[in-house]
Amino acid sequence: MADQLELADNMWGEESLPQVEVIPLVDLVITHGGNNTFTETFYFGKPALVFPLFADQGDNAQRAMEKGLGLRLHPYKSTEEEILNAIETLLQDTELQNKMLKISKRIQGSNSQARAADLIEKVGRGQIPLV
C-alpha cells in the first residue's frame, strides 16, 4: 500500500523507521497510542495526536486528553478537516509545548533506568521483599 500513497513535499515515509531517531526530528507524533510510542513521545517532549485501535491505546489516548498532552480522534470516522484542525491546534499550543518540554526534561533527568536496575538487584539479593 505504501507505494500507492503520494506524500507532500515536506513529508517522507518508509515501510519501517527507527522511531527513537525520528521522534526528536518532528514537532508532533501521530500514533495509535501504544505504550512504547507514548513513552518515547514524552521522553522527547512531543505532543500526540492519537488514533487508538485496541488494548492499552484507548486508555492512553484518554489520559492524553484528560491531562492536556494531546488529542484523540476516531481512527475510522475522523474527517480530513478534523485531522488537520487537530494538528494545527497541537502545533500552535505554546502552553502545551512548554508542558511537554518540562515533561521531557524531567524524564531525561530522572536516571530511572539505573534506579530500576538497582531495585531489581536488591530484590534479587533479598534486600527488598517482594510482598
In a domain, 129, yes or no: no
Cα 110 to Cα 129: distance, rounded to the nearest angstrom: 24
Cα 58 to Cα 33: distance, rounded to the nearest angstrom: 7
* Total domains, the chain: 1
Cα 123 to Cα 102: distance, rounded to the nearest angstrom: 32
In a domain, 131, yes or no: no
Q: Residue 70: its pLDDT value, please? A: 94
Q: What is the CATH number of the domain that holds 82?
A: 3.40.50.2000
Centroid of chain to Cα 43: 8
Q: Residue 90: its pLDDT value, please? A: 97
Q: How many CB atoms lie within 10 A of CB 78?
A: 15
Q: Give pLDDT < 50 ranges for the chain.
A: none
Grid look-up 502552553 returns 95
In a domain, 36, yes or no: yes
